[in-house]
Amino acid sequence: MEMFSGTMRFLLILFFSCLFCHGKATDCGGKSVAQTIVVDQQGKAAFTTVQAAIDSVKSNNDQWVKIHIKPGLYIERVTIPYEKPCIILEGESSSTTTISYSDHPSINNNATFTSSSSNVVASGITFKNSYNLANTIYEPKDVGSEPIEPATAARIYGDKSFFYNCSFVGYQDTLFDAYGRHYYKDCYIEGEIDFIFGSAQSYYEVNYTNNCLMDVVGRDPNLPGFVTAQGRSSSDDAGGFVFEGGSIRGNGKVNLGRAWRAYSRVIFHQTYFDSIITPEGWVAWNASDNASTTTYAEIDCKGPGADSSKRVPWTKKLSYSEMNDFSFTSFINKDGWFDNLPTIS
């Protein structure tokens, strides 16, 4: 009896051909941009919405396509699907180019921006979910007029994603850093409850400590929030959040993180902590049965909130060699994917 039928052979050939095509597509043809598309709300370009510009990119795209977004407030939900890699979203600055929406059904469906493809770059854009925010310029509301709900500004699924000079604005579950290797450079992230969460393998870097990498929006002085809720699920899971430099400031008490899953991993290196950081710093949450499986560490951090004398006893003390495993090169760029991206200014 033959092991495979003719139909099965065809399906297997098709399957492996698709794998080859997707692998080739993720190379994106080198560092050059093959096409630039412009979005302008005033009708002075090919598209007036960001989503329409993305929709125009061919499936299984294998060359870098830049979508330049003119200044404006774009009230729309934007998605880069899995089959459209090699896309650059370029705003003119995060203070003038904003993509915003107001929705909250669930963390899997409510995001203002969703990126599912590999090889995606974004720069100079604010991604906002205004549902829990007061005084938005197009849907003003009293802070207490509606219950707080998870309302995600961005969810990032694709591998090899780079965000430069972007802002992520929300209150609860602002940035769903879901899966893949991601690099956030000189970005601003605002929220209070689990406002950076997910299972990704991500590196957040700001080279100057006076810049506010994370801004805590406190509402209840008696109820501290959480900067991170990282979801690493096993000891051999590559995921984790590494924060290099920057600062945590704001107007409400906040914990550095809580364990969404048992092997949660978050490391702060040379980060400035304002006095808003709680003395204990970390919460076991879903790792409460054995908090020692988590990896929570603070190395060479500064500021009034950096006093670690009252931290939970299961935080980690990393040696120099262990810390080297969490450098940019070692942690997310071993294969050099970042070096193959087009230059972003």
Q: How far, in Å, CA of 237 to CA of 240, rounded?
A: 9
Residues 6+ apart with CB under 8 A from 117: 80, 81, 82, 83, 84, 85, 87, 158
Catalytic residue among 159, 194, 215, 274: 194
Q: Using an 8 Å Cβ cutoff, are 37 and 68 in contact?
A: yes
Cα torsion 163, 168, 174, 177 to 10°: value is 0
Indicate if 335 belongs to the active site.
no
Tracing tokens 């970390």 back to the chain, one arrives at 282
Cβ atoms within 10 A of the Cβ of 192, count? 27
Read out DSSP for 144-176? Answer: TSS------SEEE-SSSEEEES-EEE-SBS-EE
Q: How far, in Å, CA of 187 to CA of 163, rounded?
A: 7
Indicate if 173 belongs to the active site.
yes
Q: Which two tokens stand for residue 68?
A: 């330049």
Catalytic residue among 159, 173, 186, 274: 173
Q: How far, in Å, CA of 128 to CA of 138, rounded?
A: 12
Residues 6+ apart with CB under 8 A from 97: 69, 70, 71, 72, 74, 91, 124, 125, 126
Known catalytic residues? 173, 194
